[in-house]
Amino acid sequence: MNQAVRNPAAGGIEDVFRRAVALSRAAEPSLAERRDRLARLRALVVENETRFDEVISADFGNRSRTETLIAETLFVLAEIKHATKNLGRWMAPKHVVTELQYFPAKNKLLPQPLGVVGIIAPWNYPLQLTLAPAVAAIAAGNRVMIKPSELVPRFSALLQKLIAEKFDDTEVTVTGIDGDISERFAALPFDHLIFTGSTRVGRLVAEAAGRNLTPVTLELGGKSPAIIDRSADINEAAERIVYGKLMNAGQTCIAPDYVLIAHGNMDEFVARANSAVARMFGTSPDNKDYTSIVSDKHYARLESLVQDAAARGGKIVQPASADNPAWKAQRKFPPTFISGATTDMKVMQEEIFGPILPVFACDTTEAAIAHINANDRPLALYWFGKDDAARDQVLARTVSGGVTINDCLFHFVQANQPMGGVGASGTGAYHGEWGFRTLSKMKPVFYRSPFNRLADLYPPYGSRIARLIKLLRFMS
């Protein structure tokens, strides 16, 4: 599957959008209809698991089949199962406490679909980060339009074909990736727009959405630190950080981006981490469990980061140079540690998004907190150690999208926890009920009782109103 992914022909995406809007305003899908759409989405994934695996691997050059299964296929299926199981409860009106002065009236929150939700998907986890937001949108009763990434054309073409076979284009549609589709898509006046990608592009998407006052959920990235406290088991921390870093060859928005560790423990950490790399992935680029970098452009950017770090005095530890023909031919970037990283290195100034791990000397918890707070708020933060007081100090004095303690990545897969960034790492959240809430209008409704007189504050004002105001003042 390598054909071009073309945009809807009949009037283009604007026509599909107009029809979807009209239908979304005409009727709200029932619980049964939403469950049916989720069931069709689940069937699409289950029936085409091998095909998705093949096209994603082909788009990357090599993508670990096990990582695709764990991080994409099973994740999406779990999201669908969780939403299907809990959807009836999520959709039910929520009773809200009514203040005494308005008794015996009542308040309720009625969840309603927003309408049409747009999803601009990334390339790094194309199945997961395309369909997980779609699950939330469908569960909330919305119609969905998806713009996939041009960096994974085989996957995008397959998804477009399969969605068209399972769904009417006003239920769920996948656009093409050719021409000016990105700009046209972002310019549509969606009822909500979800974007996953870089902070730089996120700003452009937010700007385009702002012209329509379209609310956005931005899942971005940034430099997510891993703090190794003096109380940590360095061998355990090294192994878990290596796993979190090298999944998908570091092309993960919540991957640990750099390590903060006491200067005296730096060499031991790098040695332990290097040994963990050898155990997990070996030292050959032929290992199918190790994923390729998605494009030559991305590979060259990673090379330049390492070269800059070396020129600025960083100690480079890797099984082979990035320009080694055996690695470069497969676009597999050697796992790389930069010992003694400094703030003037480019690798410490921008999100890496690859298998490079700078190790930065930071001798105290106070210094680690100061370093993190001097920069943009990260999408994720990881802390390793046994000192509860030091852990709680970091949690209390730093702000990040999410945290995993004594491991990496696992906060992301908690179905009952929200996933979202803060500041430059994103805005808004989804997953499970949080996604349902984000993509619903929680409409407050006040049901007045005929026995309540405190709402009768109509003019002409006089002594009666004065008595009511006196009572309201007392009850307030």
- Residues 7/176, Cβ–Cβ less than 8 Å: yes
Host H or E run for residue 468: helix 463-475
CA 468 – CA 456 distance, rounded (Å): 9
> Going by C-beta distance under 8 Å and a sequence separation of 6 or more, which residues neighbour residue 29?
37, 113, 141
- H or E segment to which residue 228 belongs: strand 225-228
- The answer to whether 368 and 394 have CB atoms below 8 angstroms apart is yes
Place of tokens 């015996």: 104
Q: Look at the block and give the residue holding tokens 């150690």.
A: 385
Name residues whose C-beta falls within 8 Å of residue 311's C-beta, 6 or more positions apart in sequence.
Answer: none
Residue 172, phi then psi, degrees to nearest 5: -145, 130
SS3 readout for 224-285:
CEEEECCCCCHHHHHHHHHHHHHHHHHCCCCCCCEEEECHHHHHHHHHHHHHHHHHHHCCCC
Do 76 and 48 contact (CB within 8 A), yes or no? Answer: no
Tokens at 413, concatenated: 């897969």
Catalytic member of 171, 219, 351, 433? 219
CB 23 within 8 A of CB 143: yes
What is the 3 state secondary structure string of 82-113?
HHHHHHHHHHCCEEECCCHHHCCCEEEEEEEE
Task: From the candidates 253, 351, 362, 408, give the one annotated as an active-site residue.
Answer: 253
Q: In this structure, is the dihedral angle defined by the CA atoms of residues 461, 462, 468 and 473, taken in order, positive or negative?
A: positive
Residues with Cβ < 8 Å from 437, sequence gap 6 or more? 111
What's the angle, vertex CA 187, arms to CA 185 and CA 190, rounded to 5? 80
Count CA atoms closer than 13 A to 449's CA, side-chain side: 13
Tokens of 427: 């805005």
253 is catalytic: yes
The answer to whether residue 362 is catalytic is: no
Cα within 13 Å of Cα(456), Cβ side? 10
Contact (Cβ atoms closer than 8 angstroms) between residue 214 and residue 317:
no
By annotation, the residues acting in catalysis are: 219, 253
